[in-house]
Chains A and B, each alone.
Chain A
Amino acid sequence: MSLKLGVPSKGRLMDKTFAWFEKRGITLSRSGSDREYAGKVEGIDGVSLILLSAGEIPRELAAGRIHLGVTGIDLVHEKLPRWEQQVEEISQLGFGKADLIIATPACWVDVESLDDLDAAAAAFRKTHGHRLRIATKYHRLVREFLIDAGVADYTLVDSQGATEGTVMNETAEAIADITSTGETLRANHLKILSDGLILRSQATLWRSRVAKCDTETKAVLNELRDRLR
């Protein structure tokens, strides 16, 4: 049995994860061609690399099919209820930084805060006969945030991509999405609410609390933790 490490299978997130481990003397690489999702680990024995979509890593950790995994805080908090009991945060990796925020059209000069959003939602519902729509893929996080803030008369509509465009297309009135520089928001004439920060996220190394460990994997895990410190 070997210690299974799940890493995002493509893009900058994969490259930066590889670089982060490299700096700590562990070389991760794709074996074979660029298209093959199998990996190689050098610099430590007993670890196998599993390449996965970042969005599936929370589920795999919670199911105990991988021992360690790299993915964003946003995805873990969204996909795993009571995440603290299912995974442990080992280290924040310092890249993939992004904030989950609520944004409205920049032309809404009367809306600066959640308080305004709530009032605008009440008036909007009266005028248009339906609730103010907020486009997002982070349903649970956004709903809990808005319930806690006491915002009413909104509804969440699902948007799995190009969320910033939904307002212009009039399929939503506001959005809740991840942003790092805010450039896409500005380009789509959106602004962030002053108290609309739901979560600060970055790429993080997690340990599954449920994955089975024999003595051998436990020893590998301890060695790895020491070296990553």
Chain B
Amino acid sequence: MANRSQIQARAAMMRVRFEAAGAQVVDTPLLQPAETLLDLYGEDIRARAYVTSDALRGEQMLRPDFTLPVVQMHMREGAEPARYTYSGEVFRRQEHDPDRANEFIQVGYEVFDRNDLAGADAEVFSLFALQLRGLPLRAATGDIGILRAAVAGLRTTERRKTALMRHLWRPRRFRLLLDRFAGRKPEPELRAELLDAENPMAFDAPMIGKRRASEIEARIEALRADRETPPISDNELVGLETLLNVRETMPFALEQLRDVAVDLPQITPALDRLEARIAALQARGVNVDQLDFEAAYGRTSMEYYDGFVFGFYAEGRADLPPIATGGRYDALTWQLGGGAEIPAVGGVLRPDLMLMVEEDTR
């Protein structure tokens, strides 16, 4: 097992390499205001981050990652374009697996640049590949933007699209909604009763709580309208299913997705971006013919990413978390930017896991 100073030495070395690539070194406080994190991730973050508090500042979280504070810092005071690197501890609660570290060092690289998005994607990926050269790793890539475009362009109501978009990250609930909107799942019995009722608001129970009668009425109206909405077509449904199952090396994946675009033409601009990314990766010497692309990759774990996503995994060590992960998070800069936004892409590496894998191979 590598000790702490070896891990730190490796982290410092990688940070220097990112500096050489043009990044400015930044640091962020260990304690982060809980509010921003809760606002962004909701209650789920409490299962992953350590929460502490004092009477004056309220709830604080031990930094669960760097991306958020780095984005906030950039949106506040950053110049454009910008490239940042950092290294330091992050903290994650581990209540299910005692073998996973609850404190570890991350080294990261983030690019905030409006020009040549495909080029920036390729820059981050190839720099990471360079840092990891020689290790027996498998790289996976994906693109949340394609699925988002597919949902945004469905020929159905805004309400349905918003509901699907909201659960893009929760595949099971996404599936459930999709089945319902496609008319494959019958409406729950009690709901039919409610919607058929002449006056659904004629009930005995007193009105209590902060959710008012008008909100209940509004939802009933929305459900009634939704019932009259024609189902999502089979064409679109099959298109979405085919899209989610695409799992190929990059050039073949693109080819298959172009076929999907016959039924879902709305994904074409996203596919053009994928094509440009493949070219940019190739230009940087990445062997795209060997690089895996999964359309559903990153859907369960990488909440703030909305475009290109990637991860590096140790071959034969399924027990280990990814050695490196990253992706594009344009929407996050808008959410945290208070009106401003800037395209951004970046990722993090785990020096502790790299040293472990190196030891394994020796």
CB interface residues, A 166-188, toward B, < 8 Å: 167-168, 170, 173
Q: Does A112 contact B (CB under 8 A)?
A: yes
Cross-chain contact B167 with A150 (CB below 8 angstroms): yes
Q: How far is the CA of A147 from the CA of B96 in the complex (A)?
A: 14
Pick the contact of B209: A113, A118, A144, A167 (CB < 8 A). A167
Question: Quick check: is A122 within 8 A (CB to CB) of the other chain?
Answer: yes
Choose among A122, A127, A143 the residue that contacts B47 (Cβ–Cβ < 8 A): A143
Answer whether A109 and B43 are a contact pair too, CB < 8 Å, given A81-B95, A120-B211, A124-B215: no
* Pairwise interchain contact B47-A109, C-beta atoms closer than 8 A: no
Q: Residue A189 at the B interface, CB < 8 A?
A: yes
Among B190, B211, B218, B220, max chain A CB count under 10 A is at B211
Q: Are B205 and A113 in contact (CB under 8 A)?
A: no
| Contact yes or no, B218 A123, CB < 8 A | yes
Q: Is B284 an interface residue, CB under 8 A from the partner?
A: no
Contact B166–A123 (Cβ < 8 Å) = no
* Contact string against A for B residues 216-240, beta-carbon threshold 8 Å, 1 for contact and 0 otherwise: 1011100100000000000000000
Q: Is the CB of B42 within 8 A of A154?
A: yes
Q: Is the CB of A131 within 8 A of B209?
A: no
Most chain B beta-carbon contacts within 10 A, residue among A110, A118, A139, A150: A110
Contact A168–B220 (Cβ < 8 Å): no
Q: Which of A8-16, A56-64, A87-95, A100-108 contacts B (4 or more CB under 8 A)?
A: A100-108
Cβ–Cβ < 8 Å partners of B219 in chain A: 110, 119-120, 123
A156 at the binding interface (Cβ < 8 Å): yes
How long is the Cα–Cα vector from A105 to B213 in the complex, in angstroms?
A: 12
Known A109-B194, A118-B173; contact A173-B211, beta-carbon cutoff 8 A: yes
Inter-chain CA distance A154–B205, complex, in Å, is: 24
Map CB proximity to A onto B78-117 as digits: 1 under 8 Å, 0 otherwise: 0000000000000000011010000000000000000000
* Interface residue B321 (Cβ < 8 Å from any Cβ of A): no
Identify the closest chain A residue to B180 (Cβ): A115
| Inter-chain contact B210/A155, CB cutoff 8 Å | no
Could you tell me the distance between the alpha carbons of A189 and B40 in the complex, rounded to whole angstroms?
Answer: 32
Q: Is the CB of A156 within 8 A of B43?
A: yes
Interface size on A, residues (CB 8 A): 40
Are the CB atoms of A107 and B166 closer together than 8 Å?
no
Tell me if B96 and A82 are in contact (CB < 8 A): yes
Inter-subunit contact B210/A128 (CB<8 Å): yes
Q: How far is the CA of A112 from the CA of B188 in the complex (A)?
A: 9
B336 to chain A, nearest CB (A): 17
Residue of B nearest to A156 (CB): B43
Residues of chain A within 8 A (CB-CB) of B194 are: 109-110
Q: Which residues of A contact B47 (CB under 8 A)?
A: 140, 143-144, 147
Q: Which residues of A contact B (CB under 8 A)?
A: 81-82, 105-110, 112-113, 115, 118-120, 122-124, 127-128, 131-132, 139-140, 143-144, 146-147, 149-150, 152-156, 167-168, 170, 173, 189, 194
- Interchain residue pairs A-B with the least CB separation, the first 9: A150-B173, A106-B205, A150-B170, A81-B95, A107-B205, A110-B219, A167-B209, A170-B210, A105-B209
A-B contact pairs, 11 of them (CB 8 A): A107-B216, A109-B201, A109-B203, A109-B216, A110-B194, A124-B211, A139-B46, A153-B42, A154-B42, A156-B46, A189-B208
